Chain A
Amino acid sequence: MLEIKNLHVELEEEGKPILKGVNLTVEAGKVHAIMGPNGSGKSTLSYVLSGRDGYAVTEGSATLDGEELLEMEPEERAAAGLFLAFQYPVEIPGVGNMTFLRTAVNAQRKARGEEELSAGEFLKVVREKAKTLKIDAEMLKRPVNVGFSGGEKKRNEILQMAMLEPRMCILDETDSGLDVDAMKLVAEGVNALRDPGRAFLVITHYQRLLDHIKPDVVHIMADGRIVKTGGPELALEVERNGYADILAEIA
């Protein structure tokens, strides 16, 4: 589904290389996790895939079902089925959460040549999905992420994911700033979306999120490359010994 080949990326302004040849294939129905120390390029990878400004791709490619992502605008990538759950969801004062969700859902439907959802249809679906994430009507009415707690913001990200029904979901440090209960709730939301036609790329520092969202494949990223790939046991190894051993082993 997602295929990244020899991806080299640098910061546009400083010309500083961040990704130095990432190779990664995520198959439909699978959950892949990327772990790695700070500064290894994990978040950069998520931004480059979703199309944030400020990065220059100098080499390589990233395709979603054979379509080159790197040439698309961020909204085109979204319509193609890519979704990034932000590490720091953005507050948008004055725009109701519901308005935002409906605008996004209908923009994607329109881009795919599908009919837009009516207000009534939309309301029905959103209420149902919000309920399972314990997002109440009040939270749906409030401006996007304004005054939300860390847990509420992350749940709101998962609600957007549930509404937009992307095929390729990237979760960027979704566990950061969450207590155990909030993390469980978020993980449940993600697990409910697991589907043979959908893949996940879970970026995290810690193994604890992976207790709740069980990965099929774990990658270790360091200095802009995937340096080791294994099963779920690799995450446990990181948890026990830290990154130092793994990095020493490959050095």
Chain B
Amino acid sequence: MTAPMTRDARRADTTEARLAAIDLPTGGFTAPARAEALARLGTMGLPARRDEYWRWTDPAKLNAEQPEAGAAFRVDRPIFEGRDKLRLVFEDGVFDAAASDDPVLAGVEIARLSEADRADIHWAKAQYGALEASGQTPVARPFAALNTAAATEGVLIRVTGKAARPLHISYRQSEKTSDVILHHVVRIEEGAELTLLETGTPGARSNVVMEVDVARGARFHHIRPQGRATDRVMVTHLFARVAEDATFKSFTLTTNGKFTRNEAVIEVAGDGATAHIAGAALGDGEDGPFHHDDTVFIDHGAVGCESRQVFKKVLKHGATGVFQGKILVRPGAQKTDGYQISQSLLLDDDSQFLAKPELEIYADDVKCSHGSTTGAIDETALFYLRSRGVPEADAKALLILSFLADAIAEIEDEDLAGDVVARLEDWLARRRG
């Protein structure tokens, strides 16, 4: 008779089994960072349902040694098509040179991790895994550590000027069981600017980490429509450090997906820095199970900074939305302006929204606010639109767009915002039958 396993032993077993199923890379400039990440992961272990930040999102699909087979979404009309941009395509996590543009853009150095990592020295050496490591406290993010240890592909982007056009990382999935781990490193040097588009679903199961260091006075703008695959299982981590007078803005659109967890850890580190992060997620259980989790940590450590979190979810037919958002204002981070709103629009009684907003403030001269709401379509507004001749389904679609407007407003570029709205309209139209 064997004794029942302790919780810690079970966690260690899960972690070991998961790692055993991965062919861990060796050598290259990332080797020390990978070794450290592996050690971190060994200490913290993969998450379990009882962990505070995994109570509402079951990590089982991510912990499993192999991904569940998931049908790939056939991309009919890719988003941002027709916009002037430099595109890099990854299919099932593998770079597709034929489908990609020549990676030449003035003021931007672009390299792939798989190639660059053959060398011992690279500008990204100091950065690979660094923001991920510092983002492990106060809350552990085991899948990010796993990613740093195991990723063999990703894009290393160093921006020294104002990029004339957006860089576009485009994911495609064709294999039903692809298990994709990608790790991107972005450095925006002083005064430089980049818009980064990140689109699609990388694989049947995807783990994507992006580390972004935004230097003084630099601007980084990130727009991420995550694709429409209903079978998507995906965890992403966005780690950012925003220096003095720098701006970081990120917007994510999620439509469909049986399991998506988007984590963001943003260090607002230099005086006068700005960090905005927004998300719009739409799920209809009739298309397949939908579970979407946004877990955000904004860490204010400087004076006169602004942060803004705007997360909106539209849920129907048993869809689940989770929001865990924290603002930490460290001692001395005076004149901080921190804002957080998480809202859900429940289109029926079967769906649920779980929200945990947190504020932790150690400075006395700050302005911080957070709010969370759950509601249904406003019947008065619906009647108003219908009384003007707008059919009920169209009126509802308009009101859903109205609900999402604050999040979409975080996309600065009007054309790109228009593309996102068009994608949303398309998603809503399909549901009208």
* A residues apposed to B, CB below 8 Å: 50-53, 73-75, 77-79, 83-84, 86, 89-90, 92-95, 100, 103-105, 107-108, 111, 143, 160, 164
- In the assembled complex, B404 has its CB within 8 A of some CB on chain A: yes
Q: Is there contact, CB below 8 Å, between B402 and A74?
A: no
Q: Which residues in A have their C-beta under 8 angstroms from that of B404?
A: 94
Cα–Cα, bound, A160→B379 (Å): 20
Q: Is there contact, CB below 8 Å, between A75 and B390?
A: yes
Cα–Cα, bound, A95→B409 (Å): 12
Q: Is there contact, CB below 8 Å, between A95 and B401?
A: yes
Cα–Cα, bound, A100→B381 (Å): 12
Identify which of residues 299-333 in chain B touch chain A, using a CB-to-CB cut-off of 8 Å: none
Q: Given contacts A74-B386, A89-B384, are A94 and B403 in contact (CB under 8 A)?
A: yes
Cα–Cα, bound, A93→B394 (Å): 16
Residue from B379, B390, B398 whose CB has the most chain A CB atoms within 10 Å = B390
A94 partner, pick from B379, B384, B406, beta carbons under 8 A: B406
Cα–Cα, bound, A90→B383 (Å): 10
Cα–Cα, bound, A104→B386 (Å): 9
Q: Which residues in A have their C-beta under 8 angstroms from that of B402?
A: 92-95, 143
Cα–Cα, bound, A89→B399 (Å): 15
Residue from B385, B388, B402 whose CB has the most chain A CB atoms within 10 Å = B388
Interface size class of B (residues with CB under 8 A): 20 to 34
Residue of B at shortest CB range from A94? Answer: B405
Could you show 15 A-B contacts with beta carbons less than 8 Å apart?
Answer: A50-B387, A51-B383, A73-B386, A74-B383, A78-B389, A86-B387, A90-B380, A94-B402, A94-B409, A95-B405, A103-B394, A104-B389, A104-B390, A107-B390, A111-B391
Cα–Cα, bound, A50→B391 (Å): 14
Q: Which residues in B have their C-beta under 8 angstroms from that of A50?
A: 387
Binary CB contact string for chain B from 364 to 387 against chain A (1 if under 8 A, 0 otherwise): 000000000000001111011111
Q: Which residues in A have their C-beta under 8 angstroms from that of B389?
A: 75, 78-79, 104-105, 107-108, 111, 164
Residue of A at shortest CB range from B379? Answer: A53
Q: Which 9 A-B pairs have the closest CB atoms?
A: A94-B405, A78-B389, A108-B389, A74-B386, A104-B388, A90-B384, A94-B402, A107-B389, A75-B386
Q: Which residues in A have their C-beta under 8 angstroms from that of B350?
A: none
Q: Is there contact, CB below 8 Å, between B387 and A92?
A: no
* B residues apposed to A, CB below 8 Å: 378-381, 383-392, 394-395, 398-399, 401-406, 408-409
Q: Given contacts A74-B383, A107-B394, are A164 and B388 in contact (CB under 8 A)?
A: yes
Cα–Cα, bound, A93→B406 (Å): 9
Q: Is there contact, CB below 8 Å, between B383 and A93?
A: no
From residue A126, how far is it (CB to closest CB) to chain B in Å? 14
Q: Which residues in A have their C-beta under 8 angstroms from that of B379?
A: 53
Q: Which residues in B have their C-beta under 8 angstroms from that of A51?
A: 383, 386-387
From residue A6, how far is it (CB to closest CB) to chain B in Å? 24
Q: Which residues in B have their C-beta under 8 angstroms from that of A92?
A: 381, 384-385, 398-399, 402
Cα–Cα, bound, A84→B389 (Å): 11
Q: Is there contact, CB below 8 Å, between B387 and A103?
A: no
Q: Which residues in B have their C-beta under 8 angstroms from that of A52?
A: 383, 387
Cα–Cα, bound, A83→B389 (Å): 9
Q: Which residues in B have their C-beta under 8 angstroms from that of A111?
A: 389, 391
Residue of B at shortest CB range from A101? Answer: B388
Q: Is there contact, CB below 8 Å, between A78 and B384?
A: no
Q: Is there contact, CB below 8 Å, between A90 and B381?
A: yes
Cα–Cα, bound, A77→B390 (Å): 11
A86 partner, pick from B384, B390, B391, B401, beta carbons under 8 A: B384
From residue B328, how far is it (CB to closest CB) to chain A in Å? 30
Cα–Cα, bound, A100→B404 (Å): 16
From residue B322, how far is it (CB to closest CB) to chain A in Å? 24
Cα–Cα, bound, A73→B390 (Å): 11
Cα–Cα, bound, A92→B384 (Å): 10
Cα–Cα, bound, A107→B404 (Å): 23
Cα–Cα, bound, A108→B394 (Å): 12
From residue B375, how far is it (CB to closest CB) to chain A in Å? 13
Q: Which residues in B have their C-beta under 8 angstroms from that of A164?
A: 388-389
